[in-house]
Chains A and B, each alone.
Chain A
Amino acid sequence: MLVLIARRLLIVLPMLLVMSFLVFTLVELFPGDACLVKHEKSGNQEVIDACRVEHHLEGPFFERYFAFLGRASDGDFGDAMFKNESVAELIGSKLPATIELSLFALLIAFVLGTWIGTRSALKPGSWFDALGQIVSMAGVSIPVFWLGMMVMSLFAGEGDWFEVGAWGPEKIGPGIDYSTAFLMTESLVRLEFGAFLTALKYIVLPAFTLATIPLATITRMTRSSVLEEASKDYVTTARAKGLSERRVIRHHVRRNALIPVVTITGLQLGVLLSGAVLTERVFSWPGLGTEMVEAAGMRDYPVIMGCMLFFVIVFVVVNLIVDVLYLWIDPRMRTAAD
C-alpha cells in the first residue's frame, strides 16, 4: 500500500506542473488587464506600469511562468491585487465557509441518496423507485444557478424561513468571540445552540442546492450496489436462517453495499469543493468560489492562479485519500494494487 501511496504522490508533482501551466496559459489568454481595472481612472502610464511590474505582469511569457513556479515552490503565491491580503491569507480566510458548505451538502446528499437508493433497490420498479430516479436525475440535470434562484425566491423571500447572503460572526452569534472561521462547527462545539440554529438558517438553502449535484450519483450507486448485494448467496443464506428482513438488510446487505458508495461519496467531495463556485456565487456565500469569480471579473491574476491550483491540489489529495481508504476497507484490493 505504501508503494501505491508513494507512486500516487509522485504523480501529483508532474500533474501540478501541467495544471499550473494550463491555468497560467488560460489566465494569460484572458482579454483585459487587472492594472487597467485597478487604475481605471488613472491615465498615468507610470502608475499602470508600476502595477504591472509589482504583480509580475511584465516580461516574456515563459520567463514569467518560471518565475511564478519559483515563487510558488516557496509557497509564495503573491498578494491579491484588489484586497489587502496575500493570496495564502485570502484562501485561509475564505476556505472554512466553503468546507462547511461542501461537507454539509455532502451530508445531505449522502443521507438522502442512500435512503432513496436503498428503498428503490428493495422494490425495483415500484413507484418509489421511479420517483427516486426522477428526483435524482432532475437534481443532476437542473443547473444549480437556476435551482439556487428558485429556492431563494421560494423560501427566502419576505418571510423569515431562511437567511440568504454572507454569514458572519456578527450575524450568527453577536457577542461570541469566534476563534476560527468555521462558524457553524464552532457554534456547535461551543454549545451555542442559538448561533448554531442561525448558522443552519444560512447554510441550508445553498447546501441543499449544492447537494443536488452528487445526489444522483450517490442514489444510483446505492441502488445498484444494494441490488447486487441482495442477490448474493450469503443473503439467501441469511434469509434461510430465518433472520428478519430488517436485520438482513441492515446488518448484511447495507453494510457491504455501502463500501463503493462511500468511495463515490468521497470522490464527490473534490467535485463539491470546486463545484461550489456557482452555488456560492448565487447565494453570495462568503467562500472561495465567490472569491474566485470576483477575482476573475477583475483579472486578479494572483488570486485566480492561487485558487485554481489550490482546487487542483484538493482534488488530487481527496482522490488519493479515497483510494487509500478503499484499500484499507477492502483488503482484496491490496494485492491487486501491489
Chain B
Amino acid sequence: MRRIGSASVLLALLLGLGACGSKDGGGGNDHGIAIEPVRITLSYGNNSRPYMPSPSSVATQVAIALRDVGFDVTLDKKEWASYLQMVKNGEHQMALLGWSADYPDADNFLYVLLDKDNAVPGRANNISFYTSDEVHERLMAARNTHDRAERTRLYHEAQEIIFEDCPMIPLVYTEKAIAYRKGFGPLGVEAMSHPILRLVTEPVDGTLSYLRGQDSVRLDPGDVSDGESSKVIEQVFDTLLRFKPGTTEVEPSLAISWTSSEDKATWTFQIRPDVKFHDDSPVDGAAVVNAFERQRDPEHPHHFKDGAWEFWHGLFGFVKQVRLGAHPMEVVFELDGPAPPFFLGQLAQFSSSIPSKAALDKLGKDFRSNPVGSGPFKFVRWETGVSIHLARNDAYWDGAPKLASVVFRNSNDPTVRSRRLRTNKDADLIDNIDPETVPQLEQDGDIEVARMPGVNVGYLAMNTTKKPFDDKRVRQAVAYALNKARIIKLSYRGLAKQATTPVPPTLPGHNGSIVDRKRDAKKARELLRDAGFGKK
C-alpha cells in the first residue's frame, strides 16, 4: 500500500511539473482564470473525404487543443451514413465536415454552408444552423448582380460578419495532388475538374493507365454525381464552355460566342459549326437543347425515370426552358429571372456535357454504359468493376490528342495505388493520394507529383442552436483554442493550407484581408469566463 501511495504521489508531481512546464498550460491557474469544465461532444464521420483524409486525427488534434483551455471534450466517432443523418438533422453539438465546390463561386460555399435557407433540419448543409439575416441579405444581393466589384464587396462583408459570429471554423483548404510517371505529361491539377488528358503530349501514341479509387457508377453526364464517373465523362464529352486549364475562368468550347439580354434572363449561344459526335451525328442546336431539356423536363423521353438528376436540381433550378434560337446552330436559355453570376461556370462543369442525341434515341438507358459525346476521347468499352477503355478521337475539333488511348482502372487502397505507380503495374497516373505516401513519391526519381490547392474547405461546425454554442463567446473561445498549423502538420502531412474564411482563396470573392485568430489560450479562457463558465 505504501509503495502504491508514494508512486501515485510521484506521478502527480511529475504531471504537475509537466503542466507548469508546458507553455499554454493545462493547470488552469497560469492565466489567473479558472474555468468550470465545459462539457461538449465532438462528432465526426469515419470515412476519408478529399477535404479531410483522416478525420480521426483531426478530431484528436481539435480535442487536445480544446481541453487545454477548459473544455471537457468527448469524441464521438460515427459510421458515415449514421453521421450524415445525425448532422443533417442537427443532433450534434460540434462536428467536422467539409465541402468541395460544384461551381467556382463564393456563392457555392457561403450560401450552401451558412445561409439560413440551408439550415433546415433533416437536409441541412448549413450544419451550424446559422441563420443570420445580415448574411442572407448580402448573399441574395450578390446573386442578383453581375457587377464584379459589387459582388466582391458583398461577399467580403458577408465573410466579415461570419468571421465575427464564428458559427463554424474553417480549418483547411486541402491540396489536390496527383502523381504520374515521368515520360507522361504535361499533367496538372485542375481546380474544377480532373486532369485534362487531351493536354497530355507525351508519350506520342501512348496509352495512359489512370488508376483511381473506384469504378464509375454510370457515364450519363446529365445524371451523375460521383467524381469517378465525371472523371471519365470529362474526357468523352464537351461542354458549351470549359475552364481554362489551371484556372476557374471559362473559355469557349462547343459554344463559340454568347450574348445575354438586358435583364440577363435570356442567354443566346452560338454553337461551333462542323463538329461531330463520335457516332458521326452532328453537334447542333438540337443536340444541345436535348442535353439540357432532358435534365429539366420530367416528361422528356431521355429523362430516365429512375435517375436522380441531382446536378440539375442543385444548380439549374432557375432555368425555365432551353430552346432553339433563330437558326439551327443557336440555342437560347430562358431563365426565371436574371442569371446568377456563376451561370457560365455551371455550364462548364461536367453535368452540362452535350451527349449525342442520336445515340440517346438509339440506346435509351443503355447510354449510361455506352456514352457517346464529341470529346477528345471516344468510349470503347467498360468492364464493370475492372476497367474503362477510351481511344483517341482523331477528328477532335481542338486537335486530336497525342495519347492513343486511356484505360481507367481502380484500386480502393491509396497505398496500393502508390505502390502500383512505383512498380509500374497498370498505373501511370494516380489521384487522391494518401498524404503519408507523398514524400515517398516525391523522392522517387521516376515519379512526378503535382499539387494545387483544391476548391474546398474542411471545417469545424458548431451547432448554434445548442448549448453552449448558442453563445458567440463560446464559439470564439473555440477559435482561439485551435492550432490550425499543427492540424495541417499532423493530420494533413502539410498537404493543406490554413483556412481563414469558408471561401477558398482560389475563388474570386475570397476575403484575404481577414486576419485569423491566433491561438491564444488566455483570450479563450477570458471569453469562457465572460460566457459564465468561470469558477466561482
Contacts and interface: CB of A to CB of B under 8 A. Distances in A.
Interface string B367-387: 011000000000000011111
Given A42-B314, A43-B118, A170-B383, A32 B413 contact: no
Interface in B318-337: none
Given A47-B310, A84-B217, A297-B80, A169 B386 contact: yes
A321 B116 CA distance: 62
A299 interface: yes
A284 interface: yes
Interface string B100-141: 001000000000100000101011110000000000000000
Contacts of B217: 82-84
B81 A299 contact: yes
Contacts of A299: 81
Interface stretch (A33-41, A139-147, A265-273, A324-332): A33-41
B385 A46 contact: no
Interface in A292-318: 297-299
A169 to B, nearest CB: 6
A93 B313 contact: no
Contacts of A228: none
B383 A169 contact: yes
Interface size class of B (residues with CB under 8 A): 35 or more
Contacts of A166: 385-386
A43 B112 contact: yes
Nearest to B387: A170
Interface in A27-67: 30-34, 36-48, 50-51, 54
Contacts of A43: 112, 118, 120, 123-125
B79 interface: yes
Given A47-B313, A169-B383, A32 B308 contact: no
A36 B122 CA distance: 9
B81 A37 contact: yes
B344 to A, nearest CB: 21
A31 B386 contact: no
Interface residues of A, number: 39
B144 to A, nearest CB: 20
Interface string A91-123: 001000000000000000000000000000000
Nearest to A167: B386
B437 interface: no
Given A39-B308, A79-B306, A168 B383 contact: yes
A47 to B, nearest CB: 5
A38 B314 CA distance: 14
Interface in B394-429: 409, 411-413, 416, 419, 423
B57 interface: no
A103 B368 CA distance: 34
Interface centre among B85, B124, B368 (most CB of A within 10 A): B85
Given A43-B125, A47-B310, A165-B416, 4 more contacts: A34-B81, A36-B85, A84-B217, A286-B385
Interface of A: 30-34, 36-48, 50-51, 54, 79, 82-84, 93, 158, 164-166, 168-171, 284, 286, 297-299
3 nearest CB pairs, A to B: A32-B81, A168-B386, A31-B82
